[in-house]
Chain A
Amino acid sequence: MMQAALNLVVEPHSMPRTELGRIDVEGAAVSFKGPKGKRIEALAPTDLVIEPGSFVSLIGPSGCGKSTLLNAVGGFVPLSEGTIRLDGEPVTGINPDVGVVFQQYALFPWFTALGNVMFALKRFRLSKEERRDRAMAALKEVGLEGREANYPGQLSGGMRQRVALARTFVTSPKVLLMDEPFGALDAQTRVVMHEILLRVWEAHKATVIFVTHDVDEALILSDRAHIMSAGPGRIIETMEITDDRPRRAHQVTESFLRNRNHIIGLLRQPGADDH
């Protein structure tokens, strides 16, 4: 399976695009009513610019607001203060230009792999043949050729997440939000998934926001990592990761180690962890 994934042929989709997918987070905060009517600040006012086409990780312990920030960009949770703009337009709700890969697979178990990918294409005026062809191409891109007729229940965890990736990328979204998408996979499958994700990302040039609590995963994948802390959730440091790709956790460079030690040090600080 690993070999097949490494030898993937990347076939970028037609739609040409200028630099789209810029995200401006301007003083955005999220709070909600907790028990006894007390307001709980899930995300303190945050400023952040995410460049078009960049791969950004949000990393931190649970409760640090990383998923909240991601969900706010996706329009799943309303802001209590500030604005988030996508290419200048304020985010007001769920937007199909923003693709999402969920923590749990969120594939529809009643559709086949192909049916799941075709679901995403139904909002476009395409002939059934064209929808089918594009969905097949997307499945091929993630190395699932020949699996199109399988239902999610017949696929392994890694394969399911590849279907989810194909389902999201098939419409060439400007932004891709990923909430700990590989958290449930074993280490070996994760490595394969990282390869596939980077290939697909390079082919489609979407802006990716990737939530994880795995420091290595953030360092392997992203251009920039925002380290977050809890109580209230906020960004405590931003790190540029300039190492050339591909990066591998088993062939670490000196800068990789330095970055990892730095981030782990930050996350260990008193008050940085909510456990």
Chain B
Amino acid sequence: MDSHLKKYGQLIISLSGVVAVWWLVSGLGLVNQNLFPTPPQVLAAAVELYRDGVLISDLQISLKRAAIGFTIGATLGVLVGLLTARVFAVSLLLEPFLTLLRPIPAIALVPIAIVWFGIGEGSKYFVIAYTVFLAVWLNTHAGASSVASTYIRAARSLGANRFREFFEVVVPAAAPHIVVGLRLGAALAFLSLVAAELSGASSGIGFRLQDARQFIQTDRMFVGLIQLGILGALLDSVFVLISRRLVHWESA
């Protein structure tokens, strides 16, 4: 209770400090208000976007893209990660290839994704899923290949077959790493979402940012940025909450 109060207190103080400085800098006319809007201007832009209905619909479409892309990427990442870590043949075939893919940033994939999947939803899912997949694969692989040998020895000497060894020992032992990968993946899903929406989209938060640029509506851009910040932070807290339950023995 006390720590909760402290946490929220800290949040409120920190945020109001930032808004105060922002207001001061923009309100005193130190900078051009067309380039750096004041908090009330941004609020007004948000209300306007809300009245137009695009604030919520952008949020919905962006969340949907992130969710679908994340689900595809995370599922593949966990499966492939477990296989490359525990099945020698798969690791031999896939690991070098995946290591080559790793340094390619998501944004570099946008042009080819548009050619392959068009400017519809497919290209967005692809770019997001790709980014999430790499993060989740990497962490799952690390977790599943570093399972303590005493766990494996214990499982075998207790008569567990390979199937049980995998599902009752390797997977839970790797779970803390997998959860870290999923959390990182969720953050990256947002990053690549915006990358995908900045070009070749007709809706979503990223599109709205790009759209506002055409008319130099910096207040609208600020709305989009704040939306992304809040959404990302909320999502991360949800992930922390879920992962604490999922791998409860880690904190014990």
Residues of A within 8 A of B164 (CB): 122
A99 to B153, CA, bound (A): 11
From B159, B168, B247, A123 is in contact (CB under 8 Å) with B159
- The reply to whether B159 and A154 form a contact with Cβ atoms under 8 Å apart is no
Contacts A104-B150, A108-B172, A119-B168 given; indicate if A98 touches B252 (C-beta within 8 A). Answer: no
- The reply to whether A153 and B249 form a contact with Cβ atoms under 8 Å apart is yes
Instruction: Let me know if B154 is at the binding interface, CB within 8 A.
Output: yes
- Interface positions of B from 143 to 197, Cβ below 8 Å from A: 150-151, 153-161, 164, 168-169, 172-173, 175
Give how many B residues have a beta carbon under 8 Å from the other chain's beta carbons. 21
- The reply to whether A122 and B160 form a contact with Cβ atoms under 8 Å apart is yes
Contacts A106-B150, A108-B169, A110-B172 given; indicate if A154 touches B157 (C-beta within 8 A). Answer: no
Residues of A within 8 A of B249 (CB): 109-110, 151-153
From B154, B169, B175, A102 is in contact (CB under 8 Å) with B154
Q: Mark A106-118, 1 if CB is under 8 A from B, else 0.
A: 1011100000000
- The reply to whether B157 and A167 form a contact with Cβ atoms under 8 Å apart is no
- The reply to whether A153 and B153 form a contact with Cβ atoms under 8 Å apart is no
Cβ-closest chain B residue relative to A97: B159
Give how many A residues have a beta carbon under 8 Å from the other chain's beta carbons. 25
A109 to B203, CA, bound (A): 46
Instruction: Let me know if A212 is at the binding interface, CB within 8 A.
Output: no
A104 to B149, CA, bound (A): 11
Cβ-closest chain B residue relative to A153: B252
Tell me, rounded to whole Å, the shortest Cβ–Cβ distance linking B249 to chain A: 4
From A98, A152, A153, B157 is in contact (CB under 8 Å) with A98
Q: Output the residue of B156, B161, B173 with the most chain A CB within 10 A.
A: B156
User: 6 more A-B contacts (CB under 8 A) besides A102-B153, A110-B247, A151-B248?
Assistant: A98-B157, A119-B155, A119-B158, A122-B160, A153-B249, A154-B252
Interface CB pairs A-B, < 8 A, 29: A94-B153, A94-B156, A94-B157, A96-B158, A96-B159, A98-B157, A99-B157, A100-B154, A100-B157, A106-B150, A106-B153, A108-B151, A108-B172, A110-B172, A110-B247, A110-B249, A119-B155, A119-B158, A120-B158, A122-B164, A123-B158, A123-B160, A123-B161, A151-B249, A151-B252, A153-B249, A167-B158, A171-B158, A171-B159
Q: Which 9 A-B pairs have the closest CB atoms?
A: A153-B252, A96-B159, A123-B159, A110-B172, A109-B249, A106-B150, A106-B154, A94-B156, A120-B158
